[in-house]
Chain A
Amino acid sequence: MFTYYLRLAMISLKRNRILTALMVAAIALGIGMSMTSMTVLHMMGSNPMSYKDEQVRRVQLDNWDVNEPWDEDYPTEPPDLMTYQDANNLVNAHKAEHEAAFFPNVLPLEPEKREIKPYMVEALFTTAGFFPIFEPPFRYGSGWSPAQDRSAARVAVIDAETNDKLFGGENSVGRKVRLGGEDFTVVGVLEKWRPTPRVYHVSNGAFNDPQSVFVPFSFGIEKKMNSNSNNSCYKDSEPGYDGLLASDCIWIDMWVQVKDEADAQRYLSFLNDYVGEQKKSGRFPRPVNNRVYTVSEFLQAQRVVGRDVRTQVWLAFAFFAVCLINTVGLLLAKFMGKAPEIGLRRAVGASKPAVFAQYLTESGLVGIAGGLLGLVLTGLGLLALRKLYAGTSIERLAELDWVMVGLSLLIALIASLIAGLYPTWRACQVQPATQLKTQ
């Protein structure tokens, strides 16, 4: 019977094209608005490391002022960054499968080709563990070894764009790139890699591109560099770079890779013991409050998806609800206009469930049509967002993926079925005797 109902729905929708167009447009507008903002929310809320969420852990130690929590609004949260001495100690202790301690800054890059002027590149100064933990895809070569880490070797991993610019996209492993006035050997070239959000470093722009160049953490320390992102201190430190390294100022991101949840708990015990030891030397004045957050827990704790974005999505869905109410009215008018036909069908043997199924199929068809047009409007909405926010992180978030395409159609279908419930129920209440008499 479904194909029969589908055929009847097609005939019915074609008969009153203006009414059909209005209903489809109402649903399409609602879908377009809500899915545009949903797409941005979806991209913001996604977790590119979800496939190893349990293994990748953000390490956070509560080394802050005894009298004031790190975050007044969320007083139980420890600071998200770490001091140099703690990061260094934890990396050297090597109690996890891999450790990644890093900070971002910029380096001057002097290309071999004379025609390309020197320019500043975003660089990440990181330990070797970054590559096995976050698994950026390599086009050529690989990361460097822990031994090269320890010796502050002049080795670099560059991104695809930099490789295209400097080496015309060729395999540049083994070739030299001049960074910060020194020659570095390229050991790896990345494929295009844009984790969204940029989970490994969310402060100062969770949706920014990854750095273009990756060099050893120890090189940055040797060159007395610090982070160009966040540096926070709750008390004065000794002057100079050595003072910064010995201070309780926090500026380093720290991640580890563990085997599983049990291993994560073992690592947390190790951290608690470590803090206990440090307390003996007068550090860590606050109660022990360490974390080994999974990536998803970390993104949530960092509130990567802002409240304003959620509000925007709610507003868009409220607009969708208004569109649906209009659709209910239009469907009601349409179905009540078919009362004589409903009366006839009931008279010749259609039960109420049969009438219900027929008109709900018509509502569903309106929903599918609205969903498809809504997808086009969503595409246009996202295009407008990309144009409006060209060059910003929003531009990257405004991309429709297959999940959102499927979700749009599903929401449109369910919404139209819900919108069709009352008009369809009313259609079922048509008294055949009255309709046949009034014909």
Chain B
Amino acid sequence: MLKMTHLSKVYRTHMIETHALRSFDIHVREGEFVAVTGPSGSGKTTFLNIAGLLEDFSDGDYLLDGVSVKGLDDNARSRLRNEKIGFIFQGFNLIPDLNLFDNVDVPLRYRRMGSAERKERIEHALGRVGLSSRMKHYPSELSGGQQQRVAIARALAGSPRLLLADEPTGNLDSLMARGVMELLEEIHAQGTTIVMVTHDPELAARAQRNVHIIDGQVTDLDDAPRLGGEVHAAAHSATVAAG
């Protein structure tokens, strides 16, 4: 589903060159639930941004669903993002001026679907996250957990193959975080590939596989897929070998 080979990302200013990712290798298979962990500044978010085609990389190769994204223009990258990827952010990123229905509608609008199909998808997605009765509410009228559920509904509405989650429970209390995590596990159980960046070892343990990043490199990787939803006591396994 997602394969990065010898990928590097360098941020350059006049004075400084910062290597955010270096010789970065990872292979996420279709249907996997992978947790990406690592200390602050290790390159987790850069990896996620590149995986979500929100940023370009400096060198190496990246295959998304078998398609090399290197050299794709803005339109092609936008189309890939829209059709194949769903995003869940720590800050929810809902548009405050739009009600829940319209928030979930945003990615569908750029897919040029008919209104009947969009309506059906939005209602179904909000139903999946348990918010179908609040479609006309605005984000400010919801709790943090509910807002994150709307963000998940927005990510799901387009039926993405890959769900990228950046600290999805980072702004939630433990009860709400648990609810969101259960929802992600349920989505994964239905076949969606999920890559989740998290600081929380407990959450990471619930993923099938953990990838640990330090200084822009994969340093620690459990390559053997676990059963979805199984909780593990240890956040990371010991071995190596990226990809």
Which A residues contact B (CB, under 8 angstroms)?
1, 4, 11-12, 15, 340-341, 343-354, 431-433, 436-437, 439
Q: Is the CB of A1 within 8 A of B75?
A: no
Can you name the residue of chain A whose Cβ is closest to the Cβ of B106? A348
Q: Which of B54, B78, B83, B89 contacts A350, CB < 8 Å?
A: B78
B193–chain A nearest beta-carbon distance, Å: 18
Complex CA gap A432/B112 in Å reads 21
Check: B3 CB closer than 8 A to any chain A CB: no
Q: Which of A15, A345, A348, A353 contacts B97, CB < 8 Å?
A: A15
Given A11-B98, A433-B55, A349 and B91 contact (CB-CB distance below 8 Å):
no
Q: Is the CB of A4 within 8 A of B93?
A: no
Given A346-B78, A347-B81, A349-B79, A436 and B93 contact (CB-CB distance below 8 Å):
yes
A341 contacts across to B, CB distance below 8 A: 95
Complex CA gap A288/B101 in Å reads 82
Q: A11-B98, A348-B82 are in contact. List 7 more A-B contacts (CB 8 A).
A: A15-B97, A347-B93, A349-B81, A350-B78, A352-B75, A433-B49, A436-B89
Q: Is the CB of A340 within 8 A of B93?
A: yes
Which of B54, B74, B83, B90 is the most central at the interface, judged by chain A CB atoms within 10 Å of its CB?
A: B54
A433 contacts across to B, CB distance below 8 A: 49, 54-55
Q: Is the CB of B74 within 8 A of A351?
A: yes
B101–chain A nearest beta-carbon distance, Å: 13
**Number of residue pairs A-B, CB distance < 8 angstroms:** 70
Q: Is the CB of A349 within 8 A of B110?
A: yes
A59–chain B nearest beta-carbon distance, Å: 66
B107 contacts across to A, CB distance below 8 A: 348-349
B49 contacts across to A, CB distance below 8 A: 433
> Using an 8 Å CB-CB cutoff, how does the interface string of B73-89 with A read, 1 for contact, 0 for none?
01100110111000101
A161–chain B nearest beta-carbon distance, Å: 60
Find residues 149-171 in chain B having any chain A CB closer than 8 Å to their own CB.
154, 158, 166
A20–chain B nearest beta-carbon distance, Å: 13
A347 contacts across to B, CB distance below 8 A: 52, 54, 81, 87, 93
Q: Is the CB of A4 within 8 A of B109?
A: yes
A1 contacts across to B, CB distance below 8 A: 109, 112
A350 contacts across to B, CB distance below 8 A: 78, 110
A352 contacts across to B, CB distance below 8 A: 74-75, 78
Q: Is the CB of B74 within 8 A of A344?
A: no
Q: Is the CB of B106 within 8 A of A344?
A: yes
B98 contacts across to A, CB distance below 8 A: 11
Which of A1, A343, A437 is the most central at the interface, judged by chain B CB atoms within 10 Å of its CB?
A: A437
Check: B146 CB closer than 8 A to any chain A CB: no
Can you name the residue of chain A whose Cβ is closest to the Cβ of B166? A436
**Which 5 residue pairs of A and B lie closest in terms of their CB atoms, listed nearest first?**
A349-B82, A439-B91, A348-B107, A351-B78, A349-B110
A55–chain B nearest beta-carbon distance, Å: 56
Q: Is the CB of A349 within 8 A of B78?
A: yes
Given A347-B81, A348-B110, A439 and B93 contact (CB-CB distance below 8 Å):
yes
A346–chain B nearest beta-carbon distance, Å: 7
B92 contacts across to A, CB distance below 8 A: 439
Complex CA gap A87/B109 in Å reads 75
A361–chain B nearest beta-carbon distance, Å: 13
A437 contacts across to B, CB distance below 8 A: 45
A349 contacts across to B, CB distance below 8 A: 78-79, 81-83, 107, 110-111, 158
B164–chain A nearest beta-carbon distance, Å: 10
Complex CA gap A11/B99 in Å reads 11
Can you name the residue of chain A whose Cβ is closest to the Cβ of B92? A439
Can you name the residue of chain A whose Cβ is closest to the Cβ of B81? A349
Complex CA gap A11/B98 in Å reads 8
